[in-house]
Structure formats: structure tokens, C-alpha cells
Amino acid sequence: MGILAKIRRMYFREKVPLREIARRTGLSRNTVRTWLRQADATEPKYPKRTSPSVIDDWAAQLTGWLRADSHRPKRDRRTARFMFEAIREQGYAGSYGRVSAFVRRWHEEQTEAPRKKAYVPLAFEPGEAFQFDWSCEYAFIGGLRRRLEVAHVKLNASRAFWVIAYPTQSHEMLFDAHARAFAAFGGVPRRGIYDNMKTAVDKVGRGKERAVTSSYQMLAGMFRFVCKNGIVCGDNVSDIRVPHRGDVVGQVIDGAFKVLDSFESAAQRRADMAGTVLDESEQTAFARAALTLRYDEHKPAPVTERQLLAPRRIEDRASDLWTTFNRVQENILRGGLHGRNENGRATTTRAVTGIDQNIRLNRALWVLADEMRRLRG
């Protein structure tokens, strides 16, 4: 708080006499009275007093020596005594104390100045986010030097990574890299971090504004970045196929926007599923139907309906249709369930790694859940 504000507070609010204000502030009563009478008075500002010193003519040279010595080992640096003797030979007429004080003040200023750039530490929860980017590498294949586009997928929390090489940076390679990485990690993080790569971003705007490609928007819709398993909607939502003839580019663009429009319908059906509560018998019936989609219906399945309905995390314990669908879907696709084969021997179910089979099971499970939603509605 400025001295003028303090004087006004003491006089008008605390009712302190002028004599006491002058004693506390060290100002004359006339100065205090003048400031109080002027409603628009401003506190005077006095220029900083500069007192010339005999060291001023040598300050630039001393600063240069000190800055250069800061990058040298401590034993190789010039001492204040050495600098004093050096400038005295050049005509310095002052004392050693002035030089020593200058050196000491320079070191104090460097100590108080920020020596490192500010940064924001990043901390991530397990499964919260992943990073994706491309790099260009070269390898000898069949005796020829080939250029490879390498996809890097890294989990932010554990720093676990997945690297795979492709001939180009096309959207097909982008999707395949995500699918393989998520399969290797055993789940899908809640969000992805990308560095403005051309396969995902069409245009960089102001600040954090980005115009993402239609293909990347479809990729974001294919994976639930809030859980650990993927989802593919059935034919009753959208299935766009573009033949390789005619206006292929235009058909792809139209198809992309049709798929994007269908996501709203899928989101609405997902909300309806979340609001449909299933009893135990209905959940068992859903799991039994899912077993017939995965295994031969004429042979006993290696696992039971109860195993498919077992949750793998706390938030999947609800009994609504959407949660039931996700529990069954994840247990079928990820595998790892212990059971017995048709010969009675102990076995463990395998994960679904093939893209075609993965899409077929996802689509069939979605249709099954959507049909149950329709019947219950």
C-alpha cells in the first residue's frame, strides 16, 4: 500500500491526528495536510538516485569476464583479486573493495534470477491417455534401402509403447496401427493425444482449434475412449461401401459424412440401452446367445454364461443392457477365461485378434443388444 493511501486511512477511517500521522510517517505536517486537502492528489514519484562509482567505467569488462567464467570449471575461473589486478594495470584507480563488491552483487543477481524455463509437470492416471505419432526410418529389405513410415503408440502413464512400420502414412495404416496397439495393450485409453499429423488434422486454427479429418472422426467413433474394449455398430446403424470406380473421392466424402451422422443414432440407442434394466435371467439369455455367436452351437462352449457376465472393473457391475453388452463383449474379445473343452480338459479362451472376426463379432453383438432393446422398449 502507498504512503498516500496509508495517510488517508489513518486520518479518515482511524481518526488519527495530523501530528501523530506526521510522526508515524516521518513527513512534515504541512505535507500531510496538503495531501489530505487535494482530492485528486497522487503520490509523488522520485527518480531513483544514481551515485556514480569509480567502477562504472570497468563494469562492462568485469561483467564479460564473469559471464565467460560462469561456463568454466570452478578452478579455472578468475578471482576478484585477479580482476582487480588486471584492471588496475589498465588504469583503474579505485580500491579492491569496489571490485569485490561488484563481483559479489553480480553473483547474487544471477542466483536470484530464474535459471530454468518454467514448465508444467504432466501426470496421468493408468488408462487415461495415449500418444500417437509417425516417424520416418530406413531399412534394407531384399538388399534395397527402403523408406518406412513407423507408427508410435505410447501409454502416457506407464510409458509402454507399440511400434509398427508401414509403407505409407495412409488412413488404412493409421487405423491398423491403433487396432494393433490397443490389442497389444489389452484395452483402449480414454483419450488420445496427437501432434497435428496430416492423417488426423486437416487444418490448424487459433490456439487449440483443429479441423480433424472425417476418417479420424470415424476412428474416434469406432473406439470407446471411456472403456477398454472397442465397439462396432451393426448394419442397422451404418455400413458404407465405396466401389473403386467412378467418383471415388466424392463417394468416400459422402460416405464419411453419412457415417458421422449415424453416430448420433448410435449414441441415442446407447442411451436407451443404458436405461433398460435386465434381470438375472435376461442377462443369462443374452450371454447364452453371445456364446453361440463365438463358438459352435453343436458343441459345448468352453466357458459358461456366468463367466461372460463377470465384470472386470467396478463400474461394469450395473445390470442395465448397455453394461451387460460391454461385459459380454469384453470377455469374448479379450479371452483369458478358464474353462474346459469338449474333452473335459482345462483350457483358456483365446483373444480375438483377427480384424475380420473382431468386426463380425462386434457387429453381431451390437445387433443382438439393439434387438433386445427394441423388444424391451
CB 138 within 8 A of CB 148: yes
Does the pLDDT value for residue 231 go beyond 50?
A: no
Q: Quick check: is 210 in a domain?
A: yes
DSSP state of 151: E
* Residues 156 and 223 reside in one and the same domain: yes
Q: Quick check: is 333 in a domain?
A: yes
Percent of the chain with pLDDT over 90: 11
Summarize the confidence of residues 347-352 as an average pLDDT.
Answer: 87
Summarize the confidence of residues 120-147 as an average pLDDT.
Answer: 85
* Residues 298 and 342 reside in one and the same domain: yes
Q: Cα(6)–Cα(14) distance, rounded to whole angstroms? A: 10
DSSP state of 376: H
* Residues 104 and 178 reside in one and the same domain: no
* Residues 29 and 70 reside in one and the same domain: no
Phi-psi region of 212 (alpha: psi -120 to 50; beta: other; left: phi over 0): beta
Q: Quick check: is 250 in a domain?
A: no
Does the pLDDT value for residue 250 go beyond 90?
A: no
pLDDT at 226: 35
Summarize the confidence of residues 220-243 as an average pLDDT.
Answer: 45
Q: Tell me the per-residue pLDDT of 36-94, one tens digit each, with 9 for 90 and over.
A: 888 777 777 777 777 788 888 889 999 999 999 988 888 888 999 999 999 999 999 88
Q: Please, which contacts does 63-66 make with residues 24 or more away whose CB atoms are closer than 8 Å?
A: 63/106, 66/103, 66/106, 66/107
For the chain, how many structural domains are there in total? 4
* Residues 146 and 209 reside in one and the same domain: yes
* Residues 64 and 150 reside in one and the same domain: no
Can you read off the three cell numbers belonging to residue 261?
Answer: 451422422
Domain limit, last residue, from 212, 228, 244 = 228
Q: Quick check: is 323 in a domain?
A: yes
Q: Cα(326)–Cα(366) distance, rounded to whole angstroms? A: 10
Q: Cα(199)–Cα(171) distance, rounded to whole angstroms? A: 6
Q: Quick check: is 155 in a domain?
A: yes
pLDDT at 232: 45
CB 166 within 8 A of CB 148: yes
* Dihedral sign for Cα atoms in the order 61, 62, 66, 69: positive
Q: Look up the domain containing 337 and give its range.
A: 273-376
The secondary structure of 296-323 as a DSSP string is -TTS--SS-HHHHH--SSGGG---BHHH
Q: Quick check: is 118 in a domain?
A: no
3-state secondary structure of 117: coil
The secondary structure of 52-71 as a DSSP string is --TTGGGHHHHHHHHHHHTT
CATH number of domain containing 168: 3.30.420.10
Does the pLDDT value for residue 233 go beyond 70?
A: no
The secondary structure of 223-285 as a DSSP string is B-TTSSSB----TTT------SSSSHHHHHHHHHHHHHHHHHHHHHHHHHHHT-B--HHHHHH
Q: How many CB atoms lie within 10 A of CB 255?
A: 17
* Residues 137 and 79 reside in one and the same domain: no
Domain limit, last residue, from 164, 194, 228 = 228
Q: Quick check: is 83 in a domain?
A: yes
* Residues 298 and 344 reside in one and the same domain: yes
Residue 2: pLDDT band with limits 50, 70, 90 = confident
Per-chain mean pLDDT for the chain: 79
Amino acid letter, residue 312: R
CB 332 within 8 A of CB 294: yes
* Residues 30 and 60 reside in one and the same domain: no
* Residues 31 and 60 reside in one and the same domain: no
3-state secondary structure of 165: strand
Q: Tell me the per-residue pLDDT of 182-221, one tens digit each, with 9 for 90 and over.
A: 888 888 888 778 776 666 666 666 665 655 555 555 454 4
Q: Quick check: is 245 in a domain?
A: no
* Residues 277 and 320 reside in one and the same domain: yes
Domain limit, last residue, from 228, 251, 282 = 228
pLDDT at 257: 56
